[in-house]
């Protein structure tokens, strides 16, 4: 016998909208000839980033290798991911939501929350009708579909939007929460990962309803703050706020890359690490940030990893400046004979990269050169492709390539103050040796 949890329908009204196969849908919206066909994105990585519902129906899922997907589904249309365009659609989707209320949270590129509490009078409509209008506006204007959930808290709204997909609409009013949670297995709950589900299962729980019927104190003892918050959220007592501020800056920037085949080769692993570091710094500069600390991790075949972290001499956005540190970190954890499958670089303690503040006794000339070098690297790579211009030591990676063009020797260049990238463009393959 289920016990009601709440009597009121909507003391608060939170909407969660979630793009249906977002990347693939955007591709289909831009090229209507793709509609109704199995489309996937992720060509550039060889792994499915997103599959259209037509492709999903044939068993194609996120994360599986392309060649496998092609086997499952013969006329599969494979496209490279076009994040610029997806971001544009994303922005327009949130703009539409903001026409209903300014209380909109951009949770990720393809999903968001809107707090429409108290807007029934304004729209002369029920909360359901308002949420449905939001859903149909997105469809009408962008030609993509979203699934929508409406309930009393973010956690409930998110569960609701997942309840029926694609193009689903699910409203869970307060007086129906108990019925809904009873049909919700633990692992569906936003915030219950594999570990928590295991823990709760051991306690004899099966559904979200079982969870909320335990006392709050019990959830708190077992899981601390997360448990307490989720307990309240699931009972329709909103504790997670809808966050309207745009997420302006990152806390960390990282770059991780699995090798095509595992390696024991010290030089190779180091070269991959260096290349990852460059990628991380490129991203850092794109966001006009600089880092105070850098960490690296080397992942072994069994997925365990060794990691170290250290402060940079001064906050920087220059990969060249970080080379000595990355070398030290690498030497401190690399084990001869061990087989590695991936390397990772994490830049942390990020801050805005405004006017550089120089401390006394710093080598101004050298620092200027490094900043200049970074600018040139970004410019050249912007025109010729990532890593065309890179640190000397990571060129080890190109030595194994077969083509004659790639076998060209790299050249050491010194950059002069004020020198532009274009003046250098006629050089074959550049490297900056530090």
Partner DNA sequence: TCTGGGGTCCTAGGACCC
Pick between residue 63 and residue 385 the one whose CB is nearest to DNA: 63
| Kind and range of the H or E run holding 345 | strand 340-348
Q: How many whole angstroms separate alpha carbon 95 and alpha carbon 305?
A: 42
Pick between residue 12 and residue 16 the one whose CB is nearest to DNA: 16
Work out whether the CA dihedral 139, 142, 147, 148 comes out positive or negative: negative
Least Å from the CB of residue 299 to DNA: 9
Least Å from the CB of residue 315 to DNA: 14
Q: What length does the chain have?
A: 434
Are residues 317 and 350 in contact, defined by beta-carbon separation less than 8 angstroms? no
Whether cis (ω within 30° of 0) applies to the bond prior to 166 is: yes
Pick between residue 276 and residue 434 the one whose CB is nearest to DNA: 276
Least Å from the CB of residue 222 to DNA: 11
Q: How many whole angstroms separate alpha carbon 68 and alpha carbon 56?
A: 13
Least Å from the CB of residue 6 to DNA: 23
What are φ and ψ of residue 149, in 5° steps?
Answer: -120, 140
Angle at 237 between CA 234 and CA 240, to 5 degrees: 85
Least Å from the CB of residue 236 to DNA: 19
Are residues 381 and 387 in contact, defined by beta-carbon separation less than 8 angstroms? yes
111 catalytic, yes or no?
Answer: yes
> Which are the contacts of 70, defined by CB distance < 8 A and separation ≥ 6?
76, 78
Pick between residue 176 and residue 228 the one whose CB is nearest to DNA: 228
Which residues of this protein are in contact with DNA, per CB under 7 A? 45, 47, 63, 107-111, 158, 189-197, 224-226, 250-258, 279, 283, 302-303, 307, 309, 311, 342, 344
| Kind and range of the H or E run holding 261 | strand 253-263
Q: Which of 111, 233, 278, 321 is catalytic?
A: 111
Q: 42 is written with which tokens?
A: 């992720």
To which residue do tokens 């939001």 refer?
134
Pick between residue 231 and residue 410 the one whose CB is nearest to DNA: 231
Pick between residue 70 and residue 427 the one whose CB is nearest to DNA: 70
Q: How many whole angstroms separate alpha carbon 295 and alpha carbon 16?
A: 36
Are residues 161 and 17 in contact, defined by beta-carbon separation less than 8 angstroms? yes
Least Å from the CB of residue 255 to DNA: 5
Q: How many whole angstroms separate alpha carbon 161 and alpha carbon 17?
A: 7
Known catalytic residues? 111
């Amino acid at each position: 016998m289920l016990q009601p949890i709440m009597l009121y329908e909507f003391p608060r009204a939170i909407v969660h909208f979630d793009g249906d196969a977002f990347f693939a849908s955007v591709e289909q919206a831009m090229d209507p000839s793709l509609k109704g066909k199995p489309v996937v994105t992720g060509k550039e990585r060889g792994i499915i980033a997103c599959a259209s519902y037509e492709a999903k129906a044939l068993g194609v899922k996120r994360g599986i290798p392309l060649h496998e997907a092609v086997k499952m589904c013969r006329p599969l249309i494979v496209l490279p991911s076009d994040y610029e365009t997806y971001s544009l659609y994303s922005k327009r989707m949130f703009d539409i939501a903001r026409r209903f209320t300014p209380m909109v949270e951009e949770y990720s590129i393809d999903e968001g929350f809107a707090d429409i509490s108290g807007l029934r009078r304004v729209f002369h409509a029920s909360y359901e009708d308002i949420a449905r209008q939001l859903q149909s506006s997105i469809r009408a204007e962008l030609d993509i579909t979203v699934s929508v959930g409406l309930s009393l808290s973010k956690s409930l709204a998110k569960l609701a939007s997942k309840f029926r997909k694609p193009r689903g609409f699910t409203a869970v009013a307060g007086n129906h929460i108990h019925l809904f949670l009873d049909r919700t297995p633990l692992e569906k709950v936003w915030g219950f990962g594999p570990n928590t589900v295991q823990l709760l299962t051991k306690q004899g729980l099966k559904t979200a309803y079982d969870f909320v019927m335990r006392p709050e104190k019990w959830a708190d003892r077992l899981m601390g703050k997360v448990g307490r918050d989720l307990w309240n959220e699931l009972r329709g007592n909103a504790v997670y706020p809808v966050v309207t501020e745009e997420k302006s800056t990152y806390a960390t920037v990282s770059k991780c890359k699995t090798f095509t085949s595992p390696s024991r080769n010290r030089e190779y692993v180091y070269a991959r690490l260096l290349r990852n570091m460059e990628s991380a710094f490129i991203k850092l500069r794109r966001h006009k940030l600089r880092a105070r600390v850098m960490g690296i991790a080397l992942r072994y075949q069994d997925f365990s990893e060794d990691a170290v972290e250290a402060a940079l001499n001064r906050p920087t956005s220059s990969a060249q400046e970080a080379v000595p540190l990355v070398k030290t970190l690498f030497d401190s954890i690399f084990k001869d004979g061990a087989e590695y499958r991936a390397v990772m670089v994490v830049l942390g303690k990020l801050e805005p990269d405004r006017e550089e503040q120089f401390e006394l006794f710093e080598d101004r000339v050298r620092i200027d050169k490094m900043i200049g070098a970074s600018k040139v690297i970004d410019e050249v790579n912007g025109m010729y492709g990532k890593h065309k211009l890179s640190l000397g030591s990571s060129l080890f990676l190109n030595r194994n390539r077969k083509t004659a063009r790639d076998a060209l020797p790299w050249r050491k260049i010194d950059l002069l103050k004020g020198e532009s990238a274009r003046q250098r463009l006629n050089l074959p393959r550049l490297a900056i040796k530090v």
